Copies of this chain bind each other. A is one copy, B any other.
Amino acid sequence: MAATHNRNSESDQQQQAELKMNGHRESTLKGAPLSADDEWTILERVFRVLVDEGYLGPGTHEQPVVTFEYPDDLKKLIHFPMDEQTPCSAATVERIVRLVLQYSVRTGHNHFHNQLFAGVDPYGLTGSWITEALNTSQYTFEVGPTFTLIEDAVIEKCLRLFEFGEGDGILCPGGSMSNMYAMVAARYRTVPDVKRTGVANLAQPLVVFTSEDAHYSITKGVHWLGIGLNNLIRVKTDHRGRMIPDELELAIRAVLDSGRKPFFVNATAGTTVLGAFDDFNLIADVCDRYGIWLHVDACLGGTAILSRRHKPLLSGIGRAQSLAWNPHKTLGAPLQCSVFLIKERGLLHECNAAKADYLFQQDKFYDISYDTGDKSVQCGRKVDAFKFWLMYKARGSDGLEALVDNAFDCADWLHGQLLQRAGFRTVLEQFQYTNISFWYVPTWLRVATPDQETADWWQRLYSVTADIKERMVKRGTALVGYVPLLHKGIGNFFRMVVTCHPRPTRATMQYIIDEIERVGEELKPQQNGVASFSTRC
């Protein structure tokens, strides 16, 4: 493949490597390491670099989304091994930082739509910088007085938003952990003795239900918690990716017939690929009938709760016993900011407490119910609540709602455009969330009649999808993910995620359509019959 304007040529690489070496040389020859007091000036220096290079503001769209290098090439550009013996100068540290920035992905770029997260909310980033600087843990009021009350406020707010009554909650290092918290709590509620005896001697193995479109963290959790993948049932979904409640009920009956114990149903608000919302009311009806714990993985879709227009997507979610929501996804709180909610107050503590007396001394001089650390499976716990709290304080409910509505509007508009524009096809006819799934069929791949769209033709389209992405990455023009949905018999399609930050516009949506079309057309096989796209085809 020909070098593009963003791809460094070999001589560029050499120059870079030389620069790097000069940096290292400087550290021993002229730049002196800083004194303990002066060391702190590095923050000012790097702050300036972040500003100048457009990382702290909306200017990043003038830069490539990524300057891609293959791993082996990147290793030539940055000296990764940790083999330095002596301290280096501030100038050298700055040079290293600049190199790392140069080859990192700009997730805050207007044309980054590759993950369920993208750019950060500036107030969220402010919150995270403060907590990093204050460097404390969330386990006791003693070392985190403000942050304890801030986490309480976030939990309290989320309980109200999701109609979880007088429940409880905790901030977790990600949705996978939140989902495990749910399973652990449900298991304890179902068989309280399990904390003491483990699951080895249970009369009936415990069984978890989730949909085939649900997130893989349920699988990992089932393994970790000793439940075993044989005891995980994947319930069928409809064509939009929503769990079919009747199928759930059939699955529960089959498990009961087999002598095992259904104890946990995971429903999803916003599936990872198609952005589907299960019908929480119907699923809650089934769970109620059989006395099974209902958890909703709303890591992605929970953000809709902030919008009066879109929160009906979450209708019935308040009937669940527990819930996970990640403000670090489309809402733009910096990674990690993940909320776990549970309806039964006290259960988290009862279930998880180990009563370490070196940390949770019973004779403290303040009300130790504010020491919330024993609710957690972690000991030290990063302060994650402050980011979201500060976002809320700065924007208010109106401000956050506007961000969410804008993301929905842009995604909806994009979906509409894709339905109209020649060569584009959406995976779903209807818009359902800010994940938009589609293909682009270049003119040179278009056929006259549907019956010419053979299995081979589809395989080619799947390959072209990956090829378009590859070319966009290498040029740094856009990052849009592609995914297959194998259990539905579908190969690669684009899954473009529209997030709240950086604020999407119709123009940034239009850009992606145009860019994909442009790149797709370029991939036209050459006259001599040799395809210009990769060997995957």
Contacts and interface: CB of A to CB of B under 8 A. Distances in A.
Interface stretch (A190-198, A416-424, A425-433, A506-514): A190-198
Interface in A463-509: 463, 466, 470, 473, 479, 481-486, 492, 495, 503
Q: How many copies altogether?
A: 2
Nearest to A72: B367
A386 B96 CA distance: 12
A113 to B, nearest CB: 12
Given A80-B149, A198-B222, A199-B226, 19 more contacts: A33-B399, A47-B47, A47-B129, A71-B145, A104-B136, A105-B145, A107-B135, A114-B142, A115-B137, A125-B132, A128-B132, A137-B335, A175-B380, A216-B356, A217-B379, A220-B352, A357-B484, A358-B481, A361-B484
Nearest to A358: B483
A316 interface: no
A363 interface: yes
A224 B183 CA distance: 9
A219 B351 CA distance: 12
A377 B334 contact: no
A177 interface: yes
Contacts of A223: 184, 195, 352
Contacts of A134: 55, 101, 104-108
Contacts of A231: 198, 200
Interface residues of A, number: 167
Nearest to A326: B380
A447 interface: no
A265 to B, nearest CB: 18
A331 interface: no
18 contacts: A43-B125, A66-B145, A71-B149, A81-B156, A82-B153, A101-B134, A105-B145, A106-B134, A108-B133, A129-B132, A132-B334, A173-B177, A174-B378, A198-B228, A200-B206, A219-B354, A336-B382, A358-B485
